[in-house]
Structure formats: C-alpha cells, structure tokens
Chains A and B, each alone.
Chain A
C-alpha cells in the first residue's frame, strides 16, 4: 500500500474546467505536503496540458472528456492524462520560440518543470504521465 491517495478527475472539453478542479488540486497538494516549487510545477502541467488537449486535440467537440489522475509515490507527484483526441506525443513536440501564442512553449515549460514525461497511444487514446519531483 503506497499511503498516497489517488484523485481521479474528469474534465469536459471546456477550459473553464481548470477553474472548477482547482480546489481539488490544492487539496491534493496539501495532503502530499508538496513544496512550493512542486506545487507550482503541478499546476503548470495541468494548465498547459489540459489547455493543449482542448485547443489542439479535441477539436471543439463538447461531448469529449479528459481524464486526469493525480497521485504520488515516494519520489514524485504524478499526473496522468488520458483523452481520445488527435495523437500527440509532447516529448516529440518542437518547442516554439517565445512570442508565439499557440501554446507551443507551454509544453516546453512543462518539460522544464518536470522530472520525466512518458507517452503512449493505446486503443485510440493518448496517455501521458508527467512526474514532478516532490
């Protein structure tokens, strides 16, 4: 038994959902006694990855959802994202220079603030795991 709670959240394809889940994310960070830097990195990853999926992956289809799981182990805070949008491996995404508004450097920010990102495409769904050092 890990002793770490897991929170499973389901977000509609709507950027307003980030505001709705914010209190649950804050509670998770408090329960895990996240450092200020780790908490910042978790919030940044959520903001950038969910925004990216909504803007580029789900193509405005209101019926589609994004599954987000927040958990932890001894070393890391772990975020898992799953969606059935366009295949997108953020590890292979070329980071755009500053100044572009497409969100291209948002993924670069997540890379900088995380310890590791793993991606797989399975059964028509994107599965992304982001690990942030505690």
Chain B
C-alpha cells in the first residue's frame, strides 16, 4: 500500500519519494526502510509526497520521528508537493510548523539551505 523510492543519495542531499497510503498498513510497509534511508544518513533530506494519496497520524508520526533524528545532527527535513488533501492533513495537525512544506524541488532546496 505504500512504497519508497530513492531519487538522490549524495553527501549533500537525500531525496526520496513516498507513494501510496501512509495509514497503519502503509507505515508498516515503509517505516524501517524510510528511516534507514533518511534519518540514518544524517543529511539534509527532501521527501516528495506528491504520490501520497492518504496520510494518517501514524504516517505523520513517522515523518516527525525522522525530523527529530535529523535535527539532532543539525540536518533539515523538507516535505515537497503534497496533494491538497494531504497538505490539509499536515496543516490540521500543525505539522507544517515543525517541518517546512515546499512547492517543488527548487523551493525545497532553498528551504534546506536557508537558516
């Protein structure tokens, strides 16, 4: 129900894309790999949400957990291009105050490099 794709994996940046449903079953599918490919690399991280159809609180918890791990290493996490409904979920839970949301990759890179 959920998948993870690695887009870019360099010393400067981790860029991954999540897709599908980030509900209980979807988080179960991707959480271990998502954490390994993002938090464990300790690099500035961009997560493309454009193909995520549904985001429940457990999925948000997974994003927050990675944000916290990265913050401990002074690395930032930025979310990119969520659908309108997924963005509404993020803002309803005030996650946008914790993790910046970018329109596109250019905007995301700007947010990752700003202070």
Binds B, one of A66-74, A81-89, A106-114, A116-124: A106-114
Known: A44-B56, A98-B64, A106-B56. A113 touches B24 (CB 8 A): no
Total CB contacts across the A-B interface at under 8 A: 63
CB-CB under 8 A from B57, the residues of chain A are 48, 51, 103, 105-106, 109
Write the B32-66 contact mask toward A (1 if CB under 8 angstroms, else 0).
00000000000000000000001011101100110
Binds B, one of A1-9, A35-43, A57-65, A126-134: A35-43
Known: A98-B94, A108-B92, A113-B92. A48 touches B56 (CB 8 A): yes
CB-CB under 8 A from A112, the residues of chain B are 92-93
CB-CB under 8 A from B24, the residues of chain A are 15, 18, 47, 51
Task: Assess the B54–A40 pair: CB atoms within 8 A.
Answer: yes
| Max chain A Cβ within 10 angstroms of own Cβ: one of B61, B68, B95, B98 | B61
Instruction: Name the residue on B nearest A107 (C-beta).
Output: B57
Instruction: Name the residue on A nearest B55 (C-beta).
Output: A44
| In-complex Cβ contact of A98 among B1, B60, B85, B88 (8 A) | B60
CB-CB under 8 A from B23, the residues of chain A are 18, 43, 47
Q: Say whether B115 faces chain A, with CB atoms less than 8 Å apart.
A: no
Instruction: Name the residue on B nearest A40 (C-beta).
Output: B85
Instruction: Name the residue on B nearest A99 (C-beta).
Output: B64
The count of residues in chain A whose C-beta lies closer than 8 Å to any C-beta of chain B is: 24
Q: Say whether B19 faces chain A, with CB atoms less than 8 Å apart.
A: no
Task: Assess the B89–A109 pair: CB atoms within 8 A.
Answer: yes
Q: Say whether B7 faces chain A, with CB atoms less than 8 Å apart.
A: no
| In-complex Cβ contact of B54 among A15, A43, A98, A105 (8 A) | A43
Instruction: Name the residue on A nearest B28 (C-beta).
Output: A15
CB-CB under 8 A from A109, the residues of chain B are 56-57, 89, 92-93
Q: Say whether A97 faces chain B, with CB atoms less than 8 Å apart.
A: yes
CB-CB under 8 A from A106, the residues of chain B are 56-58
Instruction: Name the residue on B nearest A50 (C-beta).
Output: B24
How far, in Å, is A98 (CB) from chain B's closest CB? Answer: 5
